[in-house]
Amino acid sequence: MRTPIVAGNWKMFKTIADAKQFADAVKEQKKVAGVEQVICAPFTALSALAEALQGTEIALGAQNMHFEEQGAFTGEISPLMLKEIGVRYVIIGHSERRQYFNETDESVNKKTKAALQHGLKPIVCVGESLEEREAGKTAEVVGTQTKAALSGVSVEQLADVVIAYEPIWAIGTGKSSTSADANETIAIIRSVIAEDFGQEAAAAVRIQYGGSVKPENIASYMAESEIDGALVGGASLTADSFIQLVQGAR
Ligand SMILES: O=C[C@H](O)COP(=O)(O)O
């Protein structure tokens, strides 16, 4: 039985003051059990949010990290630094990072392994572009990305990995994938994982869908057999909407 997981990716939104306001608003809402909840905030808001989210069900996540513990890497943040402030999840290889910050399958793999070595749970993003989809390459693209990201990960470590399938054309566009299409691609990702880790381990991995998920459509994704939650951008920015997403995922 896979516990559903809803993760909000705030991207480059929210100051510390905004983040605290979000946490205060969440505290006023009724707690929702049975769904793991994560907020992946900008680095600057993480410490304040760690404190502000105390007493809530929400775990803290980062949106990126370097794979080294320390070193001359100006502007980077290491897994040790994230652990120190109570971060439990970290998004790795989001398509925006692949597109704008030269993230490659190789760096995604290094970061995934580094996160696991430091006790952080990676949310590894995979997904095809519109061009790749129209060329019939979806299975090949997500299969290659998944295999590359998980290369060298042990079966035991795989239990702490979350995969987020995010078709690039569905991110922030309002054009979400149909739940049936997302389910089909996620089934492909699971079968690719089974090739390297075995059926049992693959069956236990949580795989989220991401791309224009909202409170109004999350239930349709959750009704699918292979989808274990959502990675949500825009609709995770208000406490009200985030809680509705979590309720919809139950
Ligand atoms: O990480 C989240 C995704 O990029 C989806 O963003 P969105 O929900 O705003 O489409």
For residues 244 and 222, is the Cβ–Cβ distance under 8 A? Answer: no
Q: Is the pLDDT of residue 105 over 90?
A: yes
Q: Which of 36, 103, 128, 166 is catalytic?
A: 166
Atom number in ligand 1 closest to CA 174:
10
- Separation of first and last alpha carbons in the chain: 13
8 lines ligand 1 (CB under 6 A): no
Asked if the model's pLDDT at residue 134 lies above 90, the reply is yes
CA distance 2 to 203: 9
Tens of pLDDT, residue by residue over 20-29, are 999 999 998 8
Which residues, in sequence order, are bridge partners of residue 123? 91, 162
Whether residue 123 has its Cβ less than 6 Å from ligand 1: no
233 lines ligand 1 (CB under 6 A): yes
Least confident residue range of 65-74, 127-136, 171-180: 171-180
Residue 200 catalytic? no
Residue 163 contacts residue 208 (beta carbons within 8 Å): yes
- Judge contact between 208 and 182, C-beta under 8 A: no
- Which DSSP string do the residues of 126-175 spell out, in sequence order? E---HHHHHTT-HHHHHHHHHHHHHTT--HHHHTT-EEEE--GGGTTTS-
pLDDT beyond 90 at 13 = yes
Query: With 90 as the cut, is the pLDDT of residue 127 above it?
Result: yes
At 207, list the tokens.
């795989």
Cα 62 to Cα 83: distance, rounded to the nearest angstrom: 10
pLDDT at residue 30 above 90?
no
Residue 91 in this model has a pLDDT that exceeds 90: yes
Q: pTM for the whole thing?
A: 0.97
Q: What is the pLDDT of residues 207-232, one digit of tens each?
A: 999 999 999 999 999 999 999 999 99
What integer pLDDT is reported at residue 217 of this predicted model? 97
Token readout for 138 is 């979806």
Predicted confidence band of residue 177 (pLDDT cuts 50, 70, 90): confident
Those residues with Cβ within 8 angstroms of residue 35's Cβ, 6 or more apart along the chain or in another chain: 3, 4, 5, 6, 229, 246, 249, 250
Ligand 1 atom at minimum distance from 40 CA? 1
pLDDT at 176: 84
Of 98, 212, 221, best ligand 1 pocket probe by most atoms within 8 Å of the beta carbon: 212
Q: Relative to the CA of 213, which ligand 1 atom is closest?
A: 8
pLDDT at 32: 86
**Radius of gyration of the chain from Cα atoms?**
17
- pLDDT at residue 79 in the model: 98
C-alpha 220/C-alpha 185 separation (Å) is 15
Q: How far does residue 72's CA lie from ligand 1's centre (Å)? A: 31
CB of 143 sitting under 6 A from ligand 1? no
Please report the atom of ligand 1 found closest to the CA of residue 96. 4
Q: b/e for 70-79, b at 16 or more Cβ within 10 A?
A: eeeeeeebbb
CA of 198 to the centre of ligand 1 (A): 30
Place of tokens 């925006």: 96
Q: What is the mean pLDDT of residues 152-169?
A: 97
pLDDT of residue 113: 98
Is 10 assigned to a binding site?
yes
As a whole-number percent, the residues of the chain with pLDDT over 70 amount to: 100
226 lines ligand 1 (CB under 6 A): no
Dump pLDDT digits (tens) for 68-90: 999 999 999 999 999 999 999 99
Pocket test for ligand 1, best of 98, 100, 165, 231 (most atoms within 8 A of CB): 231
Reply yes or no on whether 166 is catalytic.
yes
Structural tokens at position 86 = 């109570």
Q: Which H helix or E strand runs over 5?
A: strand 5-9
